[in-house]
């Protein structure tokens, strides 16, 4: 391997985080080595450390010393080129400094530089991912995940679920005894657990995050670890292990507030830690876009509908259950726009991506929903009142809600042929039937239906 120009890979210990970001943006190896004036190694900073600092609101004028790894992995300059490659591969790292006997940095080794020589290299083909392929669903016991597992099993897929079961295991009961279903309980923040979960799978759907602004605010370091750091690690592990299809569930909440109709190229305006983590996770996934790896990011509209792991902290579901139980609903504001999508259509969208030719979805972002399903919240109340006529709707016009945005879903419609099959009214009907005719959700006040309340119990 040719030696690299180290001028933009080495930064001094008095460099700010801001200057380090500039160096990483130029050098193309996703990290820097912090060295003294003699190029003796002091520490390493990777792009993941930068994103974590941003999410933690660390001042970017702070010294890079505050975020660097002071016990870095190194490779000896005395090793042959093949030995250096082997050592980097065995380390599960992307970048490493090559040092002499006095810890002076003399070169660096960067994993993507020798992808062509790696024995496990997998070429992307135009083939579709079809049954009986094995899919790993991280977060498969959750609101979306459990419904996706059901759909995949019905289609003939082999499905493995990795889930920590923060919200219990009732949602997986329907799959017990199914020979095509496998469950692993584990924390997706732990690399060894992720490596075991990846064994033998052909595609990954990553849903394993803390969801919702209130739930994310309970323990912000835990949220950043789970929603950003774990996602970054999982994407890089998939890339290293030669797994092609990786689908990440992001959120339309990354758009924040806007008076315009927003598409995938629109400016992002996050107003919560949840949304900021989604954006940094998207950036991390894009930075892992090498060779065979085929990541796809789906920005979900606000989800609604019944699930094996039911939630009543989502606006349509919450208003529906309140209408059924108290015969009164309150709408805060009412004029603000929000895009909506059924949990069934989210599953359909994920499977559509899995079945699409790789060149259509590789390193792409798609808003997942339907342009017809942008609603003002006041109209959501009217839709619920149509299904439950006796309900009283109170609009609190002075109440403020900073989440106001409409979203275009034309890209996923034009590129992949996806449109929603279900409307908000369909989910309201389903919930009315479940409660009134099937005697379900009578315990709707139980904490298990609310992410924030469940996590506060932990």
pLDDT in tens, 78-106: 999 889 988 888 887 889 999 999 999 99
- The DSSP H or E segment spanning 414 is helix 410-416
> What does the angle CA 15 – CA 17 – CA 18 come to, to the nearest 5 degrees?
95
Q: Find all residues with CB under 8 Å of 50, minimum gap 6, and list them.
A: 17, 20, 21, 24, 67
Q: Provide CATH code, domain 134-457.
A: 3.40.50.720
Instruction: Please determine, for residue 391, whether its predicted confidence score (pLDDT) is greater than 90.
Output: yes
pLDDT in tens, 403-452: 789 999 999 999 999 999 999 999 999 999 999 999 999 999 999 999 99
Mean pLDDT to the nearest integer, 212-235? 94
pLDDT in tens, 195-223: 999 999 999 999 999 999 999 999 999 99
In the three-class reduction of DSSP (H, G, I as helix; E, B as strand; rest coil), residue 69 is classed as: strand
Q: For residue 401, name the pLDDT band (cuts at 50, 70, 90).
A: low
For residue 145, CA distances in Å to 141, 164, 371 come to 6, 13, 24
Q: Provide CATH code, domain 10-117.
A: 3.10.580.10
Q: Taking the model in full, what pTM does it have?
A: 0.86
Q: What one-character DSSP code corresponds to residue 162?
A: E
Give the start-to-end residue ranges of the domains of the chain.
Answer: 10-117, 134-457
- Alpha helix (H) residue ranges in 267-406: 273-287, 315-326, 343-354, 358-361, 377-387
pLDDT at 27: 85
């Amino acid at each position: 391997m040719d030696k690299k120009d180290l001028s933009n890979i080495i930064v001094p210990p008095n460099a700010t985080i801001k200057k380090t970001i500039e160096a990483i943006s130029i050098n193309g190896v996703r990290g820097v080595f912090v060295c003294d004036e003699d190029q003796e190694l002091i520490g390493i900073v990777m792009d993941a450390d930068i994103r974590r600092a941003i999410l933690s609101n660390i001042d970017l004028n702070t010294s890079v010393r505050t975020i660097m790894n002071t016990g870095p992995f190194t490779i000896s300059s005395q090793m042959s080129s093949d030995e250096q490659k082997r050592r980097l591969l065995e380390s599960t790292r992307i970048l490493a400094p090559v040092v002499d006997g006095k810890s002076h940095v003399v070169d660096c080794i960067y994993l993507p530089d020798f992808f062509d020589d790696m024995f496990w290299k997998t070429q992307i083909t135009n083939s579709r991912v079809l049954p009986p392929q094995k899919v790993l669903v991280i977060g498969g016991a959750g609101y979306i995940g459990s419904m996706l597992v059901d759909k995949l099993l019905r289609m003939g897929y082999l499905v493995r679920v990795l889930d920590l079961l923060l919200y219990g295991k009732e949602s997986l009961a329907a799959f017990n005894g199914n020979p095509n279903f496998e469950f692993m309980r584990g924390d997706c923040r732990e690399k060894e657990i992720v490596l075991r979960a990846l064994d033998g799978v052909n595609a990954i759907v990553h849903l394993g995050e803390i969801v919702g602004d209130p739930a994310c605010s309970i323990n912000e370091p835990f949220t950043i670890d789970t929603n950003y750091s774990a996602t970054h690690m999982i994407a890089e592990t998939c890339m290293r292990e030669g797994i092609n299809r990786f689908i990440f569930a992001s959120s339309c909440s990354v758009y924040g507030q806007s008076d315009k109709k927003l598409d995938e190229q629109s400016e992002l305006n996050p107003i919560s830690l949840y949304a900021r983590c989604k954006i940094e996770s998207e950036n991390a996934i894009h930075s892992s876009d090498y060779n065979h790896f085929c990541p796809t990011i789906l920005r979900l509209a606000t989800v609604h509908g019944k699930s094996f792991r039911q939630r009543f902290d989502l606006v349509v579901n919450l208003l529906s259950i309140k209408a059924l139980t108290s015969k009164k609903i309150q709408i805060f504001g009412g004029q603000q726009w929000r895009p909506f999508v059924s949990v069934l259509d989210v599953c359909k969208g994920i499977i559509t991506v899995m079945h699409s030719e790789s060149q259509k979805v590789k390193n792409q972002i798609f808003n997942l929903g339907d342009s017809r399903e942008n609603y003002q919240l006041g109209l959501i109340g009217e839709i619920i009142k149509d299904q439950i006529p006796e309900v009283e709707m109170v609009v609190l016009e002075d109440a403020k809600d900073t989440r106001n945005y409409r979203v275009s879903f034309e890209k996923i419609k034009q590129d992949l042929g996806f449109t929603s099959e279900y409307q908000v009214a369909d989910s309201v009907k389903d919930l009315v039937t479940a409660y009134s005719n099937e005697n379900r959700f009578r315990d709707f006040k139980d904490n298990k239906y609310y992410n924030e309340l469940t996590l506060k119990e932990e």
